[in-house]
Amino acid sequence: MVNTMVEKSTEDKIVDAAEKVFIEKGLAGARMQEIADEAGINKSLLHYYYRSKEKLFEMVFKMAFKRFVPNLIKSFEQPGDFEAKVRAFIGTYIDTIEKIPHIPVFILSELTNNPRRLVEIVKGLNVDLTPVLQTIQNEIDNKRIRPILPETLIVNVLALCIFPIVAKPMVQNLLLKGDQEKYRLMMSNRKEEVARFVLAAIQI
């Protein structure tokens, strides 16, 4: 890697451009020409590096998925009590999604359009949340939080983190009547609000 900070390699340019266009437009809506333009290269080069549109898309989907399911366990393994872990988890995940707000809908949408093939990819990238589930169960067993299916608690936390960000157009235009400032306000202390909401919901 001699070209450090000089210019991106052609392949990197392709990856970045493909990611941008596919996530914005979806597989069906994306055009190879648009990806080539975005990358500043010739359309044929896309086929030279990746044989087909499908192959290019698959690469992007996998990348997007890995970003969407980052190391959730790591953030949960913060030192401290359960409350600290929950707060760390929520903080990390809201930060993650705010950086990639379009990825969750992209993934869910493509999973709807082509369930069979993509579900295989999802399964392939096996994510293990066992430690998190066990920590939750341990809290329940020791009567430090109320009984709840551990998986349900995780789903609830993810829902509260992800939904307001991916549903921004609807929250802002429908619920907040287009008031951008109010949306900003709502999201500015979202981490604290979600943490408070969740912790109150599970306290004994």
Nearest 5°: phi and psi at 162?
A: -85, -45
Of 42 and 180, which CB lies nearer to DNA in the complex structure? 42
Buried b (16+ CB within 10 A) or exposed e, 153-175: bbebbbebbbebbbeeeebbeee
Among 8, 20, 38, 45, binds DNA (CB under 7 A): 45
Residue 39 interacting partner from DNA, its own copies, none (CB closer than 5 to 8 Å by kind): none
Of 15 and 72, which CB lies nearer to its own copies in the complex structure? 72
Q: Does 144 bind DNA (CB under 7 A)?
A: no
Residue 193 interacting partner from DNA, its own copies, none (CB closer than 5 to 8 Å by kind): its own copies
Q: Would you say 56 and 25 are in contact if contact means Cβ atoms under 8 Å apart?
A: no
Of 59 and 129, which CB lies nearer to its own copies in the complex structure? 129
Q: Which residues bind its own copies (CB under 8 A)?
A: 24-29, 69, 102, 105-109, 111-113, 115, 119, 122-123, 127, 129, 146, 148-149, 151-152, 154-156, 158-160, 162-164, 166-167, 169-171, 173-176, 178, 182, 186, 193, 196-198, 200-203
- Read off the tokens for 109: 């949408």
CA separation for the pair 54, 61 (Å, rounded): 10
C-alpha gyration radius of the chain:
20
Q: How far is the CB of 171 from its own copies (least distance, A)?
A: 6
CA separation for the pair 140, 138 (Å, rounded): 5
Q: Does 12 bind DNA (CB under 7 A)?
A: no
CA separation for the pair 19, 57 (Å, rounded): 8
Among 1, 3, 5, 44, binds DNA (CB under 7 A): 44
Task: Give contact residues for DNA (rule: CB under 7 A).
Answer: 10, 30-33, 41-45, 47-48, 51-54
